[in-house]
Amino acid sequence: MHWADAFIQKIEGPQVISTGISPSGPIHVGNMREILTGDIVFRAARSKGLPVKFIFLSDDIDPLRKVYPFLDESFREHVGKPLYEIPSPKGEGTYADHFMAPFRDSLEKLHIQVEILRSSQLYESGKFYEVIKTAIAEKDRIARILREVSGRELEENWFPYSPKCSSCGKINQATATSFTDPYVSYNCKCGHSGKSDIRKGEGKLPWRVEWPAKWHLLGVTIESFGKDHGSAGGAYDSGKRIVEEVFGTPAPSYLIYERILLKGEGAMHSSTGIVIESSEALRFMPPESLRFLIARNSPLRHIEFDPKDFYLNFMDDYEKYFNAYFKKDTVSDPDLDAVVRYSSLEKPVGPIEPSYRHLVTLVQIYPDEKKLLHGLSLGGYAAKNIAGEMGDRIALVKYWLDNYAPESIKFSLLPRGTEVKLETAEQDILKEFLSQAESLNWTAQSIHDSVRSISLKDGGEPMTAFRAFYRVLIGKDRGPRLGFFLSEMDKKWVIDRLGECLS
């Protein structure tokens, strides 16, 4: 059984599934596992017939923790301020919006229908008022839980609410001194003393308290989160006790997921720069294939993502599943159906033709868009399919070729008129081919047969013959399978090109 179905099998009743990310940097493919895991469980719950809501909380009131490698020094002064009150690293808007915008875009492309909430809004609108009050009233109880669960002592003057200093704007510098509803008095390290209104977003709960407060407030019943929160003594353990013992609501069920590693480099993490942003990934991956990456692998397994050398194998795999769903291929995975459904944007669409791998060759034969469409029609792909969706797929392939493809699979056709030095044997072979070419049936098989039979004359090596074609056409000694390669090109163009190289 598929992992999402197995999980939801044990769940009954109405559900609120929640995930969240702090928009402190580029949101990358690793982050996408959080929300895609949630989305897939959401779909599983829906198909089981459970009433279900799916929400995403952008933790935009979280303070900026440090000047990340992708920021310049001018951000030093903003460290400690809430992300939604810091200017964007580029252009207009806020820091939080800057990193949320491409993420929202990705959500749309991936067809993730989630209600996006912002923590700043929950605080500013006063929604958190009651829970903050409860947390302050139950300060000692919460402190005891945190001590017991994490096994660490809290700071002397620990307080379950971090006021934002109205003078310096930082949310992690002030020390709370007292509470007189609805104001928390504080002294800030910047020298300012003041009062923070807990109804107005002038401060926040610390993470370990905020999480259970969120569960309580939003009625969260299911949450997916990374393994770091799931460790014994981690945020889930303390959150569970706080939500149950202090707020009086049951803790959500959960799915813990493993990290996504970038092949050969390590875990994706904004602060290390080992990262492929989700919006970047979607410039060369069909959205279904990114969903597939998450849907197919159990959350408990780490995923090694390789956008370069083995990427085409991954794409083969993804297409194989979709094609198998439409009975054009076979896959032995008993979860085939579920994997394809959860990878699809809505209903599964397929089979997928031509393959991504095939397009990689076609796009390089025909860098010009119009000629490419013509080339596709030569291959028997109906024109009406070419316009919209095919155009998108072509754009993905091109972007991949330009930015990620290994050199060994790249080539470009030499323009007409390019001079190429050929050995006599090679010239003879091309001449021989040209003499047959006019009458040759222009299909992959017959072209291949023809070249092969020519090459074998007089005890020649096939290598010599094939190499001659590649040298003349792409200036390399190797290239795509020749019969297939030539058949995708205009016959006259090929004949003219070969001819001019002999004169």
Partner RNA sequence: GGGCCCGUAGCUCAGCCAGGUAGAGCAUCUGGCUUUUAACCAGGUGGUCGGGGGUUCGAACCCCCCCGGGCCCGCCA
Tokens at residue 243, please? Answer: 């939500």
User: Are the C-beta atoms of 311 and 360 separated by less than 8 Å?
Assistant: no
Instruction: Please identify, using beta-carbon distances, which residue of 345 and 413 lies nearer to RNA.
Output: 413
Contacts of RNA in 193-222 (CB under 7 A):
207-208
Per CB under 7 A, the list member of 1, 116, 383, 502 interacting with RNA is 1
| DSSP secondary structure code for residue 414 in this structure | P
The answer to the question of residue 427 lying near RNA (CB under 7 A) is no
Pick from 197, 134, 142, 139: which is nearest to 164 by CA?
A: 197
Pick from 361, 236, 88, 409: which is nearest to 372 by CA?
A: 361
The answer to the question of residue 28 lying near RNA (CB under 7 A) is yes
Least Cβ distance, residue 474 to RNA (angstroms): 7
**Binders of RNA: how many residues, by CB under 7 A?**
69
User: Are the C-beta atoms of 226 and 34 separated by less than 8 Å?
Assistant: yes
- Report the alpha-carbon distance of residue 88 to residue 96 in Å, rounded: 7
φ, ψ dihedrals at 39, nearest 5°: -65, -40
Contacts of RNA in 439-468 (CB under 7 A):
448, 451-452, 462-463, 465-467
Least Cβ distance, residue 457 to RNA (angstroms): 13
Instruction: Please identify, using beta-carbon distances, which residue of 178 and 189 lies nearer to RNA.
Output: 189
- Report the alpha-carbon distance of residue 190 to residue 382 in Å, rounded: 69
- Written as one letter, the residue type at 166 is S
Least Cβ distance, residue 441 to RNA (angstroms): 16
- Report the alpha-carbon distance of residue 152 to residue 134 in Å, rounded: 23
φ, ψ dihedrals at 205, nearest 5°: -80, 150
User: Are the C-beta atoms of 196 and 184 separated by less than 8 Å?
Assistant: yes
Least Cβ distance, residue 357 to RNA (angstroms): 7
Using CA atoms of 301, 62, 171, 128 in order, give the dihedral in degrees to the nearest 10: -110
Instruction: Please identify, using beta-carbon distances, which residue of 178 and 231 lies nearer to RNA.
Output: 231
User: Are the C-beta atoms of 130 and 306 separated by less than 8 Å?
Assistant: no
Interacting stretch for RNA, rule CB under 7 A, among 110-118, 181-189, 229-237, 372-380?
A: 229-237
Pick from 80, 127, 122, 96: which is nearest to 21 by CA?
A: 96
- Report the alpha-carbon distance of residue 222 to residue 98 in Å, rounded: 28
Contacts of RNA in 480-499 (CB under 7 A):
480-482, 485
Least Cβ distance, residue 360 to RNA (angstroms): 8
Binding mask 259-298 for RNA (x = CB under 7 A): xx------xxx---------------------------xx
Binding mask 334-373 for RNA (x = CB under 7 A): x--------------------------x--x---------
Q: Please say whether the dihedral angle defined by the alpha carbons of residues 456, 457, 459 and 461, taken in this order, is positive or negative.
A: negative
Least Cβ distance, residue 260 to RNA (angstroms): 5
Least Cβ distance, residue 155 to RNA (angstroms): 10
The answer to the question of residue 393 lying near RNA (CB under 7 A) is no
User: Are the C-beta atoms of 174 and 188 separated by less than 8 Å?
Assistant: yes
Contacts of RNA in 56-85 (CB under 7 A):
59, 62, 65
Q: Which residues bind RNA (CB under 7 A)?
A: 1, 6, 21-22, 24, 28, 30-31, 33-34, 59, 62, 65, 150, 152, 207-208, 225-235, 256-260, 267-269, 297-298, 300-302, 310, 312-313, 332-334, 361, 364, 408-411, 448, 451-452, 462-463, 465-467, 469-470, 478-482, 485
